[in-house]
Structures are given as C-alpha cells and as structure tokens.
Structure 1
Amino acid sequence: MTSAKDTVRQFLLQVRSGQHPNRADRFMADRVLAHQVVSEAPMVVERTPQQYAEHVQEMLDAYGPFTLTLDELIAEDDRVYARWTHIGRHVGPIDHYQPTNAELTEIASAVYRVEDGLIVEYWIQIDRHGIIAQLERSTTQR
C-alpha cells in the first residue's frame, strides 16, 4: 500500500500542479472535506474528485500553465503537511482583477488526512493577502 506521504506527494505533483487534474480520483476519496482556514471566515467545502479537477482547471484558466514547487512535505501517521509555491501568469480574471499577464506567486500549505491510500480531508491556508498585493501592483503598472 502507498504511504500517506507518497499519496499526497503524487496528488500535488500530478493533480494540484495542473499537469493531470483528471487523475484526482486516484488520490481522493469520493467525498473530501476541504477546510478553508481563513481567520475571518473559516468554512468547510465538500469536494468530489471531479469538482477538484474543475477547481484546478479554474486555476489554469486564471494562471495559465503554472509551476508548482513542493517546498516541504512532513508526515506523521495519517496526516501529511505540505507547503508549496505556485508561480503562474495572470492570464484570466481573478476576483474583480482583469488579466495583466503579470507573474503571480502563491504560497500555500495544507495538512492532508489520508485513509486507505486516499485523501479524505484537508486544511488549506493560502497567502491571500500576498496574491491581492501582487494583483494590485500589476494593475497599477499597466
């Protein structure tokens, strides 16, 4: 059986990276609880592998083909912590910001819970303020 750490590594490198979003069902349970860790408005979204693949496609539409560098991966029992850097170009609308073609960097981390070789739950944090600052800068430099 694949370890929890290997499951998350392959999920990030194949699916979250935008390389093969359609492979989400190889790494995710039929229903996954996605905890959006946001100080002012935490929420939990239930996602299917198909919905996650669509979510990655939305990222590709906004950032174009992007790179995802896995900066850290730490595992203990059924939990895996991952931190990554995502770099793309602002080629599609993001919130109310129209495309500028500027390079955008997203830094994010998540803790994944894996059962029987599949991701069943995760808690994700994204540097949203950093993304907004980059979008603001790119729109004023046009």
Structure 2
Amino acid sequence: MYEQKTKETDNSVIEFLDLIENPKKREDAYKLLDIFAETTGYPAKMWGPSIIGFGTYHYRYDTGHEGDAPLAGFSPRKAKISLYFATGDTERAALLQKLGKHTSGKSCVYVNKVADIDVDVLKELILQSVVFLKETYPTS
C-alpha cells in the first residue's frame, strides 16, 4: 500500500522560518506566511520538513490512491520559492499569465522573490485553489 510522504506535522512554522539563512528569503517567507494565512483564513502548518500549508483536503483518485494535502502552500527553498496551488482549474493558467516573473511545473509555481510578482494575483491564485479543491473534494 502507498505511504504518503508529505504529511502534516506539529513542527513549528516560525522555528522553520527563523532557520532560513538568507535574510531576504526569510523576509519574503514571512510576507508569504501573512498573505497565505490572511487569504485562506487557515493557520499555517508544516507539511513534511519544508512545506508550509494552509487548510487541508482529502483526495481520492479513481486508482484508489488517496491522502491528505494542504489547500495551498509554499516552501522557501534555497534556489527559489515554491508556491503550491491546485492544478486542473482552467482559471489557473489565466491567473499565472498575470502573476509576474515566475516559472511553473506540473503543480508548483517558482518565484525568486515576492517583489517579482503581483501580490493581488497571488491572492487570487490562493483563493482559486481553495475554492477549486473544496468543490472537487468535498468533505464527506
């Protein structure tokens, strides 16, 4: 049976952020903490050793694979900041075009610093992710 690797933990978000060596990256991480918490209305929780997630949902795929994940989140990695939003919503692509300087993978959006992006568009992406995931995976 599949064992989910990234799970919610009781580790301290503040202690994690305080360990970020680069002062600019640490400052950006605190900005993102405020933006995500205010926008989602959920408290920040650590997911695994390095992802800060907000809210949670339970997913179950047709294959039988299931687990829990945050509705939205971020990780202040050394190279870039990873932003986590829902995939599969058609609004995502349109919002990403307005976000600012970023790159994106399958489920992550990568930014160098908060100053490179439009914070209002970031808030729209966060809300879109929360709404989409709650509609797609309603609680039973």
TM-score norm. by structure 1 comes to 0.27
Identify which of structures 1 and 2 has the higher relative contact order when contacts are C-alpha pairs closer than 8 Å and 6+ apart: 1
The structure where helix makes up a greater share of residues is: 2
The structure where strand makes up a greater share of residues is: 1
TM-score norm. by structure 2 comes to 0.27
